Structures are given as structure tokens and as C-alpha cells.
Structure 1
Amino acid sequence: MKTVQHNPTRGIYPATPDYIHALEVRQPNRILYVAGTMGLDAQGVPGKTLEAQLALVWSNLRTILASADMTVRNIVRITSYLRDAAYAEANQAARIAALDGHVVPTTALVAQTLVSDWLVEIEIIAAD
């Protein structure tokens, strides 16, 4: 698989260093669509704080990716669902730390989660 970043600088607002406008995936062997993943521990209990939930979300995503013999380097798209707009900065920081320099298209939305204790939900697409 080859990926090509498309990050035009003319005629569109600039992307920030932590995301790109588009990522072309050429000839992937496999594509993994991961459902919205919450910050729940192995017993299904949400982390008590936003930071705890973000750590659990990324741990859960790494576990799911590993089950498909993939890592965060295989992620080609991220969508975050935040219960409150005030969570955007913490979500961004957790994503940047989890991806460790890997930059992909990302979107964050403010939405009501199905359970009020769920503060963030993240879905990804990965490919290899």
C-alpha cells in the first residue's frame, strides 16, 4: 500500500501541523473499519475523567488494531465524537501523542453520546 498526502496550500484554508486535508490510499491489501470506540476498561466501566477515557480509547484502538496485525501507523482516517466542545484540546493532545508523528485526516464533532458517562468516542479507518 502507498499513501499520498494531499494538502493544498492555495485556494483553501491551511491545515494545522497535526492533520492533513486528505490522504490517498493506493492499492491497499486490507481496509479495517473500526466502530466508535469508547473510553471503557475491560469490564466496560468508563474512565472517571476525560484524560482517563482518552487513554482507554487509544489503548482499546491499539488492541483492535493489533487483532488485525496493524498499528496506529495503519490509521488513515479518524473521527472523534466529543460530548462537549471543551474536550477538543485534550482530544487533540491525546491523538497527537497516540499517533507519534503519524498525520491523517481527522474530524471532531460535538455530539450527545448514548450514555452520559461516555465523554468521547473515536472511530477510525485503517489500511495496509
Structure 2
Amino acid sequence: MAVVVRPLTGDGSPPAEGQYAQAAEVTGATRWLYLSGQIPVAPDGSLARDFTGQCEQAWDNLETQLRAAGMTLDNLVKVTTFLSDRKYALENREVRLRRLGGRQTALTVIVTGIFDEAWLVEIEAVAAA
């Protein structure tokens, strides 16, 4: 049986601010992948100075881990993004929408301190196959 991730929004739910699912129902999964927070550091140890560059790198790192498990962005069920400052919310949304290309996952965005003060974003996820 193929894995199906079905976006759900229950009757009476508030409208979603951005392209995401209020819930994601998974059927047919035999494997689950829990991705640790993917930091915005490149494999060579470099760190972009701007938010968009860091966010793109965190997504690149997330996709690297998915590939290691034989998965793609299509397997994502839930994404949690940690922002170091609320001012990055719009840029984060733009990068996420472009990277997900219409895919709707369950989503949480949290504004908080991040382990390394130079990091502006960290992304963790859950995927199923």
C-alpha cells in the first residue's frame, strides 16, 4: 500500500495563515523518520549572513536527511520551524512555500532563542514512507 499524507482541516477551524494543513493524516506508512533540528550550516562549515540564505541551507540539510532515508519532501508529515526573531516570519514563509511547492504539511513556527546566536533558523520534521 502506498503512503498517503492527507491534509485535513476540520469544520469550524480558523483559516490557515499560509499554505499548510491544520492536521495531516497518514495511511499506509511502514517507516517513520524523525528529523532533528536542521541547522543553517553548510557541509563545509560556512554560514550565510542573511536569513534567506540560512533558511535555504536548513532546507537543503533537511532534504539531505530525507534522501539518506530514501525519502523526499513528498514524505513530510510535520514541519516545525524555529525562528530567532519574529521579523523573519515573512521570509521564512516565502522560502517554505517555494521549497514545499504546494505540499501541505502540518506546521508549527516558534519564535525563540536558538542554540547558536549566529543561527537565525532551525527546522525539524517528521516524515513517513
- Classify the TM-score, shorter chain: over 0.9
State the partner residue of 2:65: 64
| Structure 2 unmatched ranges of 5 or more | none
| Structure 1 unmatched ranges of 5 or more | none
Q: Larger deviation: 108-117 or 11-20? A: 11-20
Q: What SS is found at the alignment partner of 2:15?
A: coil
Distance (whole Å) between structure 2 residues aligned to residue 51 and residue 106 of structure 1: 19
Q: What SS is found at the alignment partner of 1:20?
A: coil
Q: Larger deviation: 75-84 or 10-19? A: 10-19
Large movers: runs of 4+ above 6 Å: none
Q: How does 1:7-22 map to 2 (within 5 A)?
A: 7-8=9-10, 10-16=11-17, 18-22=19-23
> Is the Cα contact below 8 Å between 2:18 and 2:93 reproduced in 1?
no
When normalised by structure 2's length, the TM-score is: 0.92
| 2:7 alignment partner AA | Q
Of 5, 8, 21, the match for 1:3? 5
> Is the Cα contact below 8 Å between 2:114 and 2:120 reproduced in 1?
yes
Q: What SS is found at the alignment partner of 1:97?
A: helix
For the aligned residue pairs, the C-alpha RMSD in angstroms reads: 1.2
Q: What SS is found at the alignment partner of 2:34?
A: strand
State the partner residue of 2:125: 124
